């Protein structure tokens, strides 16, 4: 079915496709850049590869699950380099349509991801899911490390006990994976009415399958903080030190996202309220709410200033001044980067800050 749709799109949309080639290339490059940033910002992310029929639906399904940080559709475990879609559907390259899933194991368990995946497939069907037929639609879960492989094999063995027919889900290590063409990426997000072999109600089920746990932010003791913070983060938050201007992590950060207390994880500021003040430290026009911070008179360094501290964590954040933009309220919360942890918008849902995404809407 999907092959017919793609062929029709090719016949009737070849001109539009040609005009969009440059945009497609740029889209693919930006996706790669985003992946690199994710890896730099979160070394604890893990990955697993799911083949479950048409990758349009399988990708969209995993995108609904809290804890999944990013997805990418592509071709796995074939016998040539850099295959095209046309080569894959020719049944000569041995590739399976596959979704690369990066997830945060602190937010979602691999066993849950596998269990949810099982709900989208017929595990006893050979080279067919829904209306799609061909070896590229075979099912499989592919791993890149021994620990993940062991979990996959165990879960598939448990599943097999529920069937009289043989379960045909492949449980082999990933041999290779090549990213699919740009127009395949996030296909159902860009084309909500597009073809999908997965029953629509399963998307809603996936969205609710891993609800966030109630978060209670708590102040940490000094010993714990010393073990988890860098020396600069500790001296700034616990000893009221000040980091160097223009040589700190977030003074020139421009991405959308949320800034949380480095000591507790509690949200404090959003990028929508951040502005360039020229002072060399992150500057915000206001906190998310005044209830999150405490302001105190500070007579240190021979100056009269207003110190800003996080209320729950009692961490020193910086100072507030009245020389901010008038159209933003006139205040400038001058905050040390070392007091903050930045969570990019793309990761907010997975890391438990989904309720704050609406604050990022442009004002």
Q: Which sequence positions are flagged as catalytic?
A: 54, 334
d(CA 154, CA 185): 30
Coil/strand/helix, residue 143: strand
Coil/strand/helix, residue 52: strand
Integer angstrom CA distances of residue 191 from 20, 71, 225? 16, 17, 47
Which residues, other chains included, contact 320 with Cβ-Cβ below 8 Å and sequence gap of 6+?
295, 306, 308, 331, 332, 333, 334
Name the nearest CA neighbour of 206 among 316, 99, 331. 99
* DSSP annotation string for 239-260: H---PPTTSSTTTT--SSEEEE
d(CA 68, CA 103): 4
Contact call for residues 86 and 78 (beta carbons, < 8 A):
no
Integer angstrom CA distances of residue 318 from 172, 241, 279, 336? 52, 9, 13, 6
179 secondary structure, DSSP code: E
Q: Order of strands, edge to edge, in the sheet holding 257-261?
A: 267-270, 257-261, 340-344
Name the nearest CA neighbour of 345 among 360, 332, 330, 331. 360
d(CA 258, CA 342): 6
């Amino acid at each position: 079915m999907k092959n017919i749709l793609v062929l029709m799109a090719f016949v009737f949309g070849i001109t539009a496709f040609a005009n969009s080639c440059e945009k497609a290339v740029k889209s693919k490059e930006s996706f790669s850049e985003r992946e690199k940033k994710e890896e730099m910002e979160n070394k604890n992310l893990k990955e697993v590869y799911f083949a479950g029929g048409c990758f349009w639906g399988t990708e969209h399904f995993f995108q609904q699950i809290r804890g999944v940080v990013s997805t990418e559709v592509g071709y796995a475990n074939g016998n040539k380099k850099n295959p095209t879609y046309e080569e894959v559907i020719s049944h000569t390259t041995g590739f399976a349509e596959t979704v690369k899933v990066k997830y945060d194991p602190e937010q979602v368990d691999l066993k849950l991801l596998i269990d949810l995946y099982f709900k989208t497939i017929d595990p006893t069907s050979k080279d067919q899911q829904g209306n799609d037929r061909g070896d590229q639609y075979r099912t499989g879960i592919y791993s890149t490390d021994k620990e993940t492989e062991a979990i996959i094999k165990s879960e598939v063995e448990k599943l097999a006990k529920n069937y009289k027919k043989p379960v045909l889900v492949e449980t082999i290590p990933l041999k290779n994976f090549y990213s699919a063409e740009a127009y395949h990426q996030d296909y159902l997000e860009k084309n909500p009415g597009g073809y999908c072999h997965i029953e629509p109600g399963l998307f809603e089920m996936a969205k609710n399958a891993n609800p966030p746990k109630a978060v209670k932010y708590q102040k940490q003791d000094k010993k714990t903080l010393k073990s988890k913070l860098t020396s600069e983060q500790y001296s700034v938050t616990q000893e009221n030190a000040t980091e160097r201007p223009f040589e700190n992590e977030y003074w020139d950060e421009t991405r959308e996202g949320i800034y949380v207390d480095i000591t507790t994880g509690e949200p404090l500021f959003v990028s929508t309220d951040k502005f360039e003040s020229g002072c060399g430290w992150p500057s915000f026009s206001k906190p998310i709410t005044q209830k999150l911070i405490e302001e105190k008179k500070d007579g240190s360094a021979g100056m009269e200033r207003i110190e800003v501290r996080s209320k729950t964590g009692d961490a020193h954040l910086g100072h507030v001044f009245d020389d901010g933009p008038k159209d933003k309220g006139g205040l400038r919360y001058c905050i040390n980067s070392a007091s903050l942890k930045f969570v990019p918008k793309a990761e907010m849902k997975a890391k438990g800050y989904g309720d704050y995404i609406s604050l990022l809407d442009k004002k």
